[in-house]
Structure 1
C-alpha cells in the first residue's frame, strides 16, 4: 500500500510537469503570434524602392550609364531609368505629358522652352557641362578632310547631320555651315539622323563619308576619327543644362539625383568622356 506522503510527492511532481508544459505551450503560442505580427508589420528601417525616369540627350549615354552604376552602389533603393534621345524630341515628350522626373538636354534652348511653359522650375535647372562640335570620318577613310571646303569634293557623297529641328548637334552643324556659306551648296549631300548617335553610326558603318557629332561621341568609337574641329565662333556654345520636371512624383529623390550630378564625383565621370565642366 502506497503511503500518503509518497502520494503527495507524486502529485506534486505531476502538477509541476503540467505547469511547465502549459508554460511552454503558452510561450510557443506567443512566439508564433509574434512571428505572424512581424510578417504583417512593415519594418520601419526598410527603404522604399523608387524608380526615376531621366530623359537625357543621346550624347550623354556612356557617361550616364557609368554614373548609373556608381549611384546604385550609394543608393540601392533608387532605380534610374534613362530615356535617351534627341533633346528636341525629349522636350516634346515632356510637353505632351510623358513621365519624366529629370531632363538633361544638349541645348539650353530646349530647357528654356520647358521653363517658359512652367514645366520645369527656373530655380531647379542649371547649365553644368559643355561640348564641342567636330567632323568625323571613317577610321580607314582615304579622302583627306581638313575643313568645310573639302566637303564639296566629289569624293564626298554623303554628309550626315542630326535633324536640325530636333537634334541640337544638327542645329549647331546647320548654324556653322550657314555662317560659312556652305549650307545651300551642300544640301544634295546631306543625310539626316534621328540623333547624334545615329549620325556617328552612319559614318562608322560607311553609310556616310563624314558626319557632324560632338567630341564626346567621337571618343566612344574606334571606327571613326576626328577630321577637324568646327570653329566654335561659327555656332552657339554647346551647353548641357539639367533640370527637375515639376510633375515628378518623387520630388525628394529627383532633387537628390539633381544634386549628385553636380558633385565632383559625377563631374569627373563626365570629364572622363570628354565633356567640359562649366564654372
Structure 2
C-alpha cells in the first residue's frame, strides 16, 4: 500500500514538472511558429500604347522576380484614348505614350509632373502588306495602284501611328486621294490585324509591330522626313496612390535591363 502511494506521488510530480516545462517553452515555441506577416501586394495600373504590348509583357516577368510584392496591370490602347481616360479620372499610376503630344497634354493639365516624365524610346513608321500579297509596294505612291483596294490607318485623332501616317500622306499630297480606300483602326494593333486577316491590302504600323507578325510583311519604310519623330515618353501620374512603387517602376524602365528588352522588340533608345 505504501509503495502504491509513493508511486502515485512520483507520477504526480512528474506530470507537474512536465507541465511547467511545457509552459516555460510556450513563448519560445509560439515565437518560432508565428510567421512574419506577408508583405501586402501593391497593384500598379500602367496605361500604355498598344505598340508596347509585347515588350512590356516580357518586362512584367523580369520585374516580378525582384519585386514580388508589386503587381503590374497593363491597360493597353491608343495613346489619345488613354490620355482621355486619365483626364476623366480613370485609375492609372503611369502613362506610356506613343507620342509626346499626349504626354504634354497631361503635363499641361497638371495631371503628370513635368519632372517625372521623360522621352524613353523611338520607333519607325512602315507600311505592311499580307504575307501572301503579290502587289509590289515600294513607296507611298504605290498605294494609288488599282490592286490596292483597302489601306488600314489608325484613327489620326487618337492613334499616334495614324497621325504619323496622315502626316506622311499629306506630305506626299495623297491624303485626300486615298480617303476612299482607307479603313481606320482603333489602335495600331487593330491596323495590323486588318492586314494579317486580308481585310486590308496595306497598313501603316510601327516597325516594332510589324516585326511581331508572321502574317504580314514590311513592304517599305516610310520616309522619316515626311512625319514627326516617333518618340515614346513615360510619366508618373500625379493621382497615383502608390507614389514610391510607381516611381520605382518609372526608374526601372530606364535601366539597361528594361531598355534591352525594348531594343529586342525593335525600339531604339533616346540615349
Q: Quickly name the TM-score band, shorter chain normalised.
A: over 0.9
For 1:36-47, list aligned pairs within 5 A: 43=36, 46-47=38-39
Give the count of matched residue pairs.
Answer: 271
SS at match of 2:248: helix
Hey, what does 2:178 align to over in structure 1? 186
Hey, what does 1:111 align to over in structure 2? 103
Q: For residues 116 and 209 of structure 1, what CA distance do their matches in structure 2 show?
A: 39
Hey, what does 1:175 align to over in structure 2? 167
Query: Shift of residue 18 of structure 1?
Result: 2.3
2:44 corresponds to 1:65: no
Hey, what does 1:264 align to over in structure 2? 256
Hey, what does 1:48 align to over in structure 2? 40
2:16 corresponds to 1:22: yes
For 1:1-279, list aligned pairs within 5 A: 7=2, 14-28=8-22, 43=36, 46-279=38-271
| Larger mean Cα displacement after TM superposition, 145-154 or 12-21 | 12-21
Q: For residues 153 and 106 of structure 2, what CA distance do their matches in structure 1 show?
A: 25
Question: Which stretches in structure 2 are left out of the alignment for 5+ residues?
Answer: none
State the TM-score, normalized to the length of structure 2: 0.93
SS at match of 1:80: strand
Aligned-residue Cα RMSD (Å) equals 2.2
Per-residue deviation, residues 11-55 of structure 1 (Å, max 9, x unmatched): 66644532331243355467677777888x7726x3221111111
- Name the CA shift for 1:47/1:232 in 2 (closer, same or farther; >3 Å): same
